Structure 1
Amino acid sequence: MNSSSSTRPRVLVARRLFPEITERLSAHFEVDAYAGVAPLSPSELVARLQGCAGVLVTGTERIDAALLEACPALRAVCSMAVGYNNIDVAACTARRVLVSNAPGVLTETTADFGFALMMATARRISESEHWLRAGQWKQWSYDLFAGSDVHGATLGILGMGRIGQAIARRGALGFGMSVAYHNRSRLPPADEAAVSARYVDLPELLRIADHLVIVVPYTPQTHHLIGAAELALMKPTATLTNIARGGVVDDRALAEALKLRRIAAAGLDVFEGEPQVHPDLLTVPNVVLTPHIASASLPTRRAMAELAATNLVAALTGAQPPTALNPEVLAPAA
């Protein structure tokens, strides 16, 4: 550390990340890089943030009004995730704390994973592997783990942002699927045509989808958007894949629907209250479970962290952060 380090802003990297990210930040700041695997508890986070002007977070660390009150030096909260429901942006804006996220850089990787999870769900890959590993494969039969086709089926997409559109392209162009979607606002006709998708209301989407993929952000309005009543509208042969956020789907209701075969199967990368998983989901065989890894390719995770670091450097050195959520805080105070 050079002799001027004491005059430089302090920042916290709140999760273990690529060493080169810490090195890059160290050229500008005095860096406290948390090296633990488990996330910091709320009280530990507050303690580590004392005197810090900025923090690089993931989608886990909760940044709310109470934390901001306890950390008055904080000026920038930069997340390497796309979703930011863990950050109270309004409270940050009120205190003139810059908030940024990391959209765009993980779109294609997450769409790859969402499509893979949907296919694994439809073709019963996880269920059949567990059965094989248990030594139960003795002979072939015509209906041995017979699932449902993906090619030519109806792909329903709930949430048609960047990732939803990337999934639609894969389905329509790669697998000849008929694509229907529902979104808070309808896409312009040219964008619909580009992904060969048609807009329908939510009940219709649930009724017609052979494979439903959920990609909406989590907000108070989308909490339990898919519950028992919505699941009851789906075909008994349909699958549901959630790569959005935990809480969009009522996990208890979904486990019940899977147990009773009201829908055929589900693929879940996100869970309400994660890393805890609703225990009922662990008892049904017709669900594929993964630990929130949709963006987990090394190039993409590195790009996410790089974008968060770029935002943090910009926010604390007088430049314009490229993906600020509340850029108005950078304007001179009235």
Structure 2
Amino acid sequence: MPSQRLSVVVTRRLPERVEARLSELFDVTLGPEDRPMTREELVEAVRHADVLVPNLRDVIDQSLLSQAGEQLRLIANYGAGVDHIDVATARQRGILVCNTPDVVTEDTADMTIALILALLRRVPEGLAMMQADEWTGWSPNSMLGSRITGKRIGILGMGRIGQAVARRARAFGMQVHYHNRRRLREETESELSARYWESLDQMVARMDVISVNCPHTPSTFHLLNARRLKLLKPEAVIVNTSRGDVIDENALTRMLRAGEIAGAGLDVFRYGRDANPRLRELKNVVLLPHMASATIEGRIEMGEKVLINIKTFADGHRPPDLVLPAMI
């Protein structure tokens, strides 16, 4: 590596502590405003930077990478998911890609349980009633929700986050079921008291709650399509804190409007920040602005991982959180 400081372009403002440390170690370019970079700004960044620090809002595709300068050798993603980065093309061009795994696990699992509780206990409806000053007092049949204890939860994707959700679900007395690309080891299943379903169809047809915790890949695109969503029980609810592309959002919206599914808690959407407008009208839907991982502690830890990855690379070593195409 050259002796001069690496040129690092950060596409979005990060916690001050992280930005300060980056500036101490590298020649850092930060956006003057906290907004996504335009395509033109991304092109300019990859043409001149040694290291690019993007986030999930930045599309790092083949077209962009084809315009990268020869000096770009590392993409240090601020986030665990890399479905917005063409990792295979980057590797072909000699550009390493790393991410920040294990940081958002507990925070995302917390929010998953929060959404389940919000749906089953009708928390948003109660909040709206109080804010509108429409509550007329307690009555035996008012605002009846469903008990979480004893409910069957079907976890789609039993990686780190899925397992963290399972542990929390057990603590609430839920029965844990899961579908995964690979079955967990017997001791892990025993620890989580989790039942494996090889058939996703059979699992979703029997669950009270479906929790989507798998990454977005070509094989998981619309994994919960219209046909599969119709297998859900009418009283079932579905929660997604993973990626919007895993669910056919239009089919889900139609079924929610028709009362064919009891409710949905969504922190992610098919078109980024643009949730289906029809979803906003429904009382049995809880929509959040992609905030499952949004904790101060988590954002700082993500930044620290980015720092470690870049510093390790600058010292001539393999970044600890290197992402390979085979891992996706």
Partner of 1:313: 311
Partner of 1:198: 195
Shift of 1:6: 10
| Mapping of residues 11-26 of structure 1, within 5 Å | 11-26=8-23
Q: Which moved more, 1:277-286 or 1:319-328?
A: 319-328
The Cα offsets for residues 103-153 of structure 1, whole Å up to 9 and x where unpaired, read as 112211111111111111111111221233223222433332212111111
| Mapping of residues 167-246 of structure 1, within 5 Å | 167-172=165-170, 174-200=171-197, 201-246=199-244
User: Using the alignment, how far apart are the partners of 2:318 and 2:45 within structure 1?
Assistant: 26
| Mapping of residues 1-334 of structure 1, within 5 Å | 7-72=4-69, 73-172=71-170, 174-200=171-197, 201-326=199-324
User: Using the alignment, how far apart are the partners of 1:20 and 1:85 within structure 2?
Assistant: 27
Q: Residues 327 and 289 from structure 1, CA distance in 2 versus in 1: closer, same or farther, beyond 3 angstroms? A: closer
The Cα offsets for residues 177-204 of structure 1, whole Å up to 9 and x where unpaired, read as 1111001111111111111101012112
SS at match of 2:303: helix
User: Using the alignment, how far apart are the partners of 1:326 and 1:316 within structure 2?
Assistant: 19
Q: Decide whether the 8 Å contact of 1:182 with 1:202 is kept in 2.
A: yes
User: Using the alignment, how far apart are the partners of 2:141 and 2:35 within structure 1?
Assistant: 43
Q: Decide whether the 8 Å contact of 2:77 with 2:98 is kept in 1.
A: yes
Give the aligned residue type for 2:110: D
SS at match of 1:50: helix
User: Using the alignment, how far apart are the partners of 1:234 and 1:65 within structure 2?
Assistant: 38
User: Using the alignment, how far apart are the partners of 1:327 and 1:197 within structure 2?
Assistant: 30
User: Using the alignment, how far apart are the partners of 2:148 and 2:97 within structure 1?
Assistant: 40
User: Using the alignment, how far apart are the partners of 2:3 and 2:57 within structure 1?
Assistant: 29
Shift of 1:80: 2.0
Give the aligned residue type for 1:65: Q
Segments of 4+ in structure 1 off by > 4 A?
none
Q: Residues 158 and 327 from structure 1, CA distance in 2 versus in 1: closer, same or farther, beyond 3 angstroms? A: closer
Q: Decide whether the 8 Å contact of 1:68 with 1:74 is kept in 2.
A: no
User: Using the alignment, how far apart are the partners of 1:294 and 1:141 within structure 2?
Assistant: 34
Shift of 1:9: 2.1
Structure 2 length-normalised TM: 0.94
User: Using the alignment, how far apart are the partners of 1:61 and 1:314 within structure 2?
Assistant: 24
User: Using the alignment, how far apart are the partners of 2:7 and 2:127 within structure 1?
Assistant: 49
The Cα offsets for residues 273-294 of structure 1, whole Å up to 9 and x where unpaired, read as 1111111111211100001111
Q: Which moved more, 1:18-27 or 1:217-226?
A: 18-27
SS at match of 2:66: helix
User: Using the alignment, how far apart are the partners of 2:134 and 2:20 within structure 1?
Assistant: 51
Residues paired across the two proteins, number: 323
User: Using the alignment, how far apart are the partners of 1:158 and 1:66 within structure 2?
Assistant: 32
User: Using the alignment, how far apart are the partners of 1:326 and 1:186 within structure 2?
Assistant: 22
Shift of 1:307: 0.5
Q: Decide whether the 8 Å contact of 2:98 with 2:321 is kept in 1.
A: yes
Q: Decide whether the 8 Å contact of 1:25 with 1:313 is kept in 2.
A: no
Shift of 1:13: 1.0
Give the aligned residue type for 1:325: V
User: Using the alignment, how far apart are the partners of 1:221 and 1:115 within structure 2?
Assistant: 26
